[in-house]
Every structure is written in C-alpha cells, then in structure tokens.
C-alpha cells in the first residue's frame, strides 16, 4: 500500500497540510503488512498554480492508494476517488500521528 500525506515539512514530525493542493510537500509512505518500509518526499511543484486534476494526477502516477490531508477541495477529492484512491481527512497533526491513526507501525 502507498500513502501520500500532504505535508507542511519534509519529515514525519511535520504537520499535515491544511489544504491538499497547497501542501509544500507530499510524503509518500510505502506500507507492507502495516509496517512503514520506505518514505519518499517530493516538493509540490504545482503549489502556486495548478489546473484541475494535475495534483490528483500526480497521485495516480505515483500509484497512491490513500491520501491523507486536513482539507481538500470537492473536485480534487472526487477526482481521486474516481481513480480508486481513498481520501482521509485528519486534523492538523503530525505526519507520524496521521500514519499511526491508519494503523501503520513506524518501528
């Protein structure tokens, strides 16, 4: 399973971004048997201007199964869900806490 977390920073202690499309970074977490195996951090290249579907397309291209964010526009959420990507909205908590809420073992 691959999870993308919209993040304000570049590590697991960073806060989840309040808005999916305006997140400075996306943390991609590869999960196997509920255990974190690998993370990859990518800058959001479309933070200042993005057309409809560009960022959801990036999630599709990265084979994401679940997106975690604090907020997301209805059109972006619908785009992701139509592609089979689940969306989980959480409060503005750490990326680590957001993953643990999904049952991910970070050890």
Range of the domain at 14: 2-101
Write the CATH number for 70.
Answer: 3.30.420.130
| Mean pLDDT calculated for residue range 71-91 | 95
Note whether residue 36 is domain-resident: yes
Total domains in the chain come to: 1
pLDDT digits (tens, 9 = 90+) for 9-59: 999 999 999 999 999 999 999 999 999 999 999 999 888 776 676 899 899
CA atoms within 13 A on the CB side of 9: 10
Alpha-carbon distances, residue 77 vs 23, 52, 54, 81, 97 (angstroms): 15, 11, 12, 6, 22
Percentage of residues of the chain with pLDDT beyond 70? 97
pLDDT band at residue 95 under the 50/70/90 scheme: very high
Note whether residue 13 is domain-resident: yes
Note whether residue 83 is domain-resident: yes
Note whether residue 97 is domain-resident: yes
pTM: 0.94
Q: Which residue has the higher pLDDT, 1 or 53?
A: 1
Question: How many angstroms separate the CA atoms of 4 and 32, rounded?
Answer: 15
Note whether residue 92 is domain-resident: yes
Note whether residue 47 is domain-resident: yes
């Amino acid at each position: 399973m691959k999870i993308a977390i919209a993040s304000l920073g570049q590590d697991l202690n960073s806060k989840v971004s309040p808005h999916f499309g305006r997140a400075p970074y996306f943390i991609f977490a590869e999960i196997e048997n509920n255990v974190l195996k690998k993370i990859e951090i990518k800058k959001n290249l479309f933070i200042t201007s993005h057309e409809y579907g560009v960022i959801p397309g990036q999630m599709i291209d990265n084979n994401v199964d679940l997106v975690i964010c604090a907020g997301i526009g209805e059109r972006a959420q619908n785009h992701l869900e139509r592609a089979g990507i689940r969306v989980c909205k959480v409060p503005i908590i750490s990326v680590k806490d957001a993953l643990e809420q999904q049952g991910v073992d970070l050890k």
